[in-house]
Structure 1
Amino acid sequence: MADNQAGGAGTISAGRSWLGFLLVLLSLVVEGFDLQAANMAAPNIVSSFGITRADIGPLLSASLFGVLLGAMFLAPLGDRFGRRTIIIGACTAYGVLSLIAAVATGITELVALRFLIGIGIGAVLPNALALGGEMAPQRLLATATGMIGIGITFGGTVAGAVAAILFKQGYGWREVFMAGGVLPLIIAALLWLGLPESPALKRGEVRSGGNVLTLLAPGERAKTFAIWLAFGLVLMINYLLTGWIPLIINAQGYSQSEAAWIATAGHGGGVIGGVIASLALARWRWPVVGAFAAMAALVMILLAGADWGATALTALIVLQGVFIVGTQNALNGSAGATYPAETRALGLGWALGVGRVGSVVGPLAGSAALMLGLGQPREFFFLPIVPLLVAAALAAYLTRATKSPSLASVGD
């Protein structure tokens, strides 16, 4: 991340670029923690409030619906007022709200607070992805954006490990949420002290921002809809699996701590997959999305095809993490490199925002599957196969579509 014509690091030193990249990465680590906190704590929340597993769907979807709104309507403000300002303000807000959620006295109150937390998280994510990519040279923008996204997965891994340890020690979901409140406040202070503003904004490239009609201009509309649909399908499957795997495993006779550890192994696989996909983005973009989505579908077929023992089940959960998260990171990086600096937060915000419809639907689909009696692992893992194959087909279309001179050319 030297001083190159960047996506871009061209107006700040290499040291400041690396510092900014690290701080943005940390902001997404704590975001990943907070996103997964409710998922990892779900079995304990069910027993604490005396509700059924099918009743937990609205809680798992509440923060994701908030992310949808935050990404679509707050995140684009980063193109106008600065990514740094939005990231720090939103981190502070959802940290405070997480601490309040830790003392919630009812499930309805908890659902409302998780919704507000999601709005803050949604404002951070597109700006963090955009700013992290802009710290790198132009040729590495897609790779840097994908690597930044690994922070979310690593944060989910940390959330699973923390939940497993706390449950083993006799603590519960409140302590998990407390950790999810303290961490963003610490990171917000570090961001305020050391995070540089977007080099592109300093050069005056991102003041105009634009609006969603920019993304729907003639010649771009089909690509925009394809990107949105790909995000929706991948996020739907991502949150279906991360939200329900702990509960499904727990329902098979594993303890809450064991279920959290197996789910954590899947997040660990996601970190590996995210790194591999991000490195591949240095040479390929949309083809990486298609390849990882197709491999994820194959893993789902294996999971659905037999009753696996604990070791094999854990190994396959790790592999689904590798390919599901790899698909998501490749999607983030490819889309980030598709949009120019002046609409990057806007483009990523709307892609992630519209895509979050899928992330909201995912956990609710898990509830519907349970109500239909599809609670066994072999039946549950049939659900992601078709959406993943459709995502792979969309990636093939975008591989061809982004070769034409348009939005894609700015990322090349």
Structure 2
Amino acid sequence: MSGKDVIDVQRFLNEHPFSRLQWLIFAMCFVIVVLDGFDTAAVGFIAPSLIAEWHVQKSSLGPVLSAALFGLAFGAIVSGPLSDRWGRRGLLIGSVALFGVASLACVLAGSLTQLTVLRFVTGVGLGAAMPNAVTLVGEYCPDRRRATLVNLMFCGFPLGAAVGGFLAAWMIPQFGWRSVLVLGGVVPLVLAAILLAVLPESVRYLVAKGKPAERIRDVLRRISPDAATIQAFTLREAAAGPARKSDMRLVLSGSYIVGSLMLWITYFMGLVIFYGLINWMPVLFKEAGFSAGQSTLLSALFPLGGVGAVVCGMLMDRFNATKVVAGCYALTALSVYAIGQSLGSVGALIGAILVAGVLMNTAQCSMPALAAAFYPTQGRATGVAWMLGVGRFGGIAGSFLVAELSLRHLSLEGIFSVVAVAGVISCVALLVKVAACRDIPVVQPVEGEPVHPGH
């Protein structure tokens, strides 16, 4: 059998132009991330209407606001091993359908308890969808463009939250708060039907699991006609795991456990910063003497920095990706600290918030690409999902941290200084990952034999 009859599937992706199929996969996963951002933030958009219609206290909304975050963590942690065992496609379609149905069910909720339960279920679907979208896009990307495209996809999350805010501001006065949940349910269900019709399974997953060569060839022919003459496929990993290990056994194996823990710590601390500030900055700035309107506008500057992730992705594709992201977290810590030192000048405060938002969102949006590049195919979905799942608890911790600091009457400068420490911890954790994981083999076959017809 000639060399042209057997080909490494990643080499095939590297050597051919980015096809319409790959752009289609990217576009569908980008929409999933946009919907994730929209639905995650939806309950915040409707909160004032809930207070008015159901005559509840603001403090009573705590469980509703946090339910989706717990669901996100649970969905991410559970979906990763299932995806590595059963495939990316089915889990992705099922999770999109789940959060669509759950969002529609929220429309029928008649109490905070019912809404809390349904928001948790919505979060489970959202949490399962995100890591599978990241994994699928990453496994269809050529090596030289993976970080750029995954980071670009993750820009959809703040975009979804921002667009959702504008739509909610228009829809709620016109159609009521339930219309936001209807939109957040109908669109995912339509998308799930489209995914069912056109979305292929990850070709790298098919090879790693030894699926029939005919099935792999059919997918690759949609990328390039050159695949028609290939008789067998193999897969070699840029960072391979211990032979025959999969799921959590690989993620927590001797070669990967330190890197996994450092990724979890990094993402956790990043969300401590993000949710701690995004949830509390309006209150903190109002206490600093700004009006309610000024406080809201100042706080809205923080999540606008996701576009910086594209530039970071380009740097990650050219240089040591872990060190690039570590640098972003170090600069995030400095800029968050600068917010607390700039309260006396509106111009300096605006600049500090914008810079902090760009750096924070850039670092956080770059983490899924970093994790996807760290793990081999047989444990990639699990590795990415557990990082995202464990990290979600950082969002919960960040909100409670700032609340506790406020109760202890710490100064605003002190609060921002404490939150900035989380950025330092993230930076240090990534540098530890660099030092501890430098000995992982660069190239090692994931399967001992190529996939032949009929296997």
Is residue 148 of structure 1 aligned with residue 153 of structure 2? yes
Give the TM-score normalised by structure 2: 0.78
Q: Which residue of 1 aligns with 2:265?
A: 229
Q: Which residue of 2 aligns with 1:197?
A: 201
Q: Structure 2 CA distance, aligned partners of 1:7 and 1:244?
A: 48
CA displacement 1:312-353 (0-9 Å, x = unmatched): 655443333211111112221111100011111011111112
- Aligned partner of residue 200 in structure 2, secondary structure: coil
Contact 2:66–2:396 under 8 Å retained in 1 = yes
Is residue 81 of structure 1 aligned with residue 117 of structure 2? no
**Moved runs in structure 1, 4+ residues, more than 6 A?**
10-13, 206-209, 407-411
What is the one-letter code of the residue matched to 1:202?
L
Q: RMSD value over aligned CA atoms?
A: 3.3
Q: Structure 1 CA distance, aligned partners of 2:392 and 2:246?
A: 21
Per the TM alignment, residue 104 of structure 1 is displaced from its structure 2 partner at its CA by 2.6
Answer with 179-188 or 208-217: which moved more.
Answer: 208-217
Per the TM alignment, residue 196 of structure 1 is displaced from its structure 2 partner at its CA by 2.1
Contact 2:97–2:192 under 8 Å retained in 1 = yes
Per the TM alignment, residue 80 of structure 1 is displaced from its structure 2 partner at its CA by 2.1
Q: Which residue of 1 aligns with 2:292?
A: 254
Matches within 5 A, 1:154-165: 154-165=159-170
Per the TM alignment, residue 164 of structure 1 is displaced from its structure 2 partner at its CA by 3.7
Is residue 29 of structure 1 aligned with residue 64 of structure 2? no
Contact 1:17–1:135 under 8 Å retained in 2 = yes
Q: Which residue of 1 aligns with 2:327?
A: 291
Is residue 132 of structure 1 aligned with residue 137 of structure 2? yes
Unpaired stretches in structure 2, ≥5 consecutive residues: 1-6, 212-243, 447-455
Q: Structure 1 CA distance, aligned partners of 2:443 and 2:62?
A: 38
Contact 2:37–2:158 under 8 Å retained in 1 = yes
Per the TM alignment, residue 230 of structure 1 is displaced from its structure 2 partner at its CA by 1.2
State the identity as a percent.
Answer: 29
CA displacement 1:24-73 (0-9 Å, x = unmatched): 11111101111122234445545555555555443332111111111111
Answer with 301-310 or 123-132: which moved more.
Answer: 301-310
Is residue 400 of structure 1 aligned with residue 438 of structure 2? no
Q: Which residue of 2 aligns with 1:18?
A: 23
What is the one-letter code of the residue matched to 1:400?
A
What is the one-letter code of the residue matched to 1:109?
Q
Q: Which residue of 2 aligns with 1:348?
A: 384
Is residue 276 of structure 1 aligned with residue 311 of structure 2? yes
Q: Structure 2 CA distance, aligned partners of 1:232 and 1:288?
A: 18
Q: Which residue of 1 aligns with 2:69?
A: 64
Is residue 362 of structure 1 aligned with residue 366 of structure 2? no
Is residue 183 of structure 1 aligned with residue 190 of structure 2? no
Specify whether residues 214 and 4 from structure 1 end up closer, same or farther in structure 2 by C-alpha distance, changes over 3 A only.
Answer: closer
Is residue 332 of structure 1 aligned with residue 368 of structure 2? yes
Q: Structure 2 CA distance, aligned partners of 1:228 and 1:408?
A: 25
Is residue 214 of structure 1 aligned with residue 250 of structure 2? yes
Per the TM alignment, residue 366 of structure 1 is displaced from its structure 2 partner at its CA by 4.2
Answer with 199-208 or 176-185: which moved more.
Answer: 199-208
Q: Structure 2 CA distance, aligned partners of 1:273 and 1:178?
A: 32
Match of 1:388 among 423, 426, 433: 423
Per the TM alignment, residue 396 of structure 1 is displaced from its structure 2 partner at its CA by 1.6
Matches within 5 A, 1:91-110: 91-110=96-115
Q: Structure 2 CA distance, aligned partners of 1:398 and 1:288?
A: 13
Q: Structure 2 CA distance, aligned partners of 1:206 and 1:126?
A: 23
What is the one-letter code of the residue matched to 1:301?
Y
- Aligned partner of residue 136 in structure 1, secondary structure: coil
Specify whether residues 209 and 92 from structure 1 end up closer, same or farther in structure 2 by C-alpha distance, changes over 3 A only.
Answer: farther
Contact 2:330–2:423 under 8 Å retained in 1 = yes
Q: Structure 2 CA distance, aligned partners of 1:380 and 1:65?
A: 25
Per the TM alignment, residue 310 of structure 1 is displaced from its structure 2 partner at its CA by 6.3
Contact 2:323–2:434 under 8 Å retained in 1 = yes
Unpaired stretches in structure 1, ≥5 consecutive residues: none
- Aligned partner of residue 381 in structure 1, secondary structure: helix
Per the TM alignment, residue 407 of structure 1 is displaced from its structure 2 partner at its CA by 8.1
What is the one-letter code of the residue matched to 2:250?
T
Per the TM alignment, residue 182 of structure 1 is displaced from its structure 2 partner at its CA by 2.4
Structure exhibiting the larger radius of gyration computed from Cα positions: 2
Q: Which residue of 1 aligns with 2:275?
A: 239
What is the one-letter code of the residue matched to 1:213?
R
